[in-house]
Amino acid sequence: MKKILTFFTLLLFMSCQNYGQLNLLADLSNELNEVSGNEVLNNSSLIWMINDGGNKSKLYAVSKKGKIKKEINIKSKNTDWEDLTSDKKGNIYIGNFGNNTSSRKNLRILKIDKKYLRKKNAKVKEIEFEYEDQDKFPPKKKELFFDAEAFFYFNKNFYIFTKSRVEGEYGKTSLYKFPAKKGKQTARLIGKFNNGNDLECWITSADISSDGTKVVLLSQKNILVFTDFKDDNFLSGKVKKIELEHQTQKEGICFKDNNTLLITDEKAHGEGGNLYELKIDVQN
């Protein structure tokens, strides 16, 4: 009886929550309280997730109802895992590039071959990179522009969107590109965008639609949808700002299909720790 009462109390609490234009799909497990990235693979109903730095080095396969269906132990330290992406072959990539003080010299992308997604343990291949315009570690306070929490794979390249740590310029993001191949790569600057000045404006995740026509950037304040961009300077296109009515520490975004987004937030102060869905209507 007590369990039934607790269940209905929780159900009532969730139904009273206002998530704005977001559709709540699930309350995530306590093991996923600090989700920093999510990704969907082609022809799969599972949603892959990781936790932020300091948590276990695991990759989680989660159902649309928020249930953990599989856990894979990743043979690499979770220094500061910040986002997930994948290629058309079904390989998954973890962005180990969180860099709060812009002082890291060991920025990495971790490649997990698709064969390991059926196993309990996974080895990784590391792709090292550096920003072409950073020469001090750390730089001056007014130049702390080399943190990052957002990236995606597209046409054999990685695209990273930085997160500013400069007071009053938190919404600034720079777009860098480098090849998705072995060796130490140099991330080349190809575009910039300013989402605002406040902490709520900094960029925490990114993705590109499977048809390559839309790019989304996530912040606590809003979702930016870019279309009609020139070549791969995605920030050069038209931008639609979707102002979020529900503001929590949102850290993960990915396309479920070309017009549907899946969003996750961290659990903090009694809020968040959820999986949401959002339909977007953008005319190209």
Q: What are the percentages of helix, strand and coil residues in the chain, rounded to 5?
A: 10, 45, 45
- The CATH classification number of 22-279 equals 2.120.10.30
Ordered DSSP codes for 98-133: --TTS--S--EEEEE-GGGGGSSEE--EEEEEEETT
Tokens 């950037």 found at: 217
Tokens 């920003």 found at: 131
Query: What are the pLDDT digits (tens) for 33-55?
Result: 899 999 999 888 899 999 998 89
Residues 48 and 39: their CA atoms lie apart, in Å, by 5
Query: What are the pLDDT digits (tens) for 217-276?
Result: 999 999 999 999 989 999 998 999 999 988 899 999 999 999 999 999 998 877 889 999
Kindly list the domain boundaries of the chain, sorted by start residue.
22-279
Phi, psi of 6 (to 5 degrees): -60, -40
- Evaluate the CA torsion angle 110, 229, 231, 211 in order and state its sign: positive
Contact 265, 228 (CB under 8 A): no
Residues 199 and 245: their CA atoms lie apart, in Å, by 16
Instruction: Tell me the whole-structure pTM to 2 decimals.
Output: 0.91
Contact 171, 198 (CB under 8 A): yes
Report which residue type is found at 190.
I
Per-residue pLDDT of the chain (284 residues; tens, 9 = 90+): 544 544 444 444 444 466 888 999 999 999 998 999 999 998 888 999 999 988 999 999 999 999 999 999 999 999 999 999 999 999 999 999 999 999 999 999 999 999 999 999 999 999 999 999 999 999 999 999 999 999 999 999 999 999 999 999 999 999 999 999 988 999 999 999 999 999 999 999 999 999 999 999 999 999 999 999 989 999 998 999 999 988 899 999 999 999 999 999 998 877 889 999 999 987 64
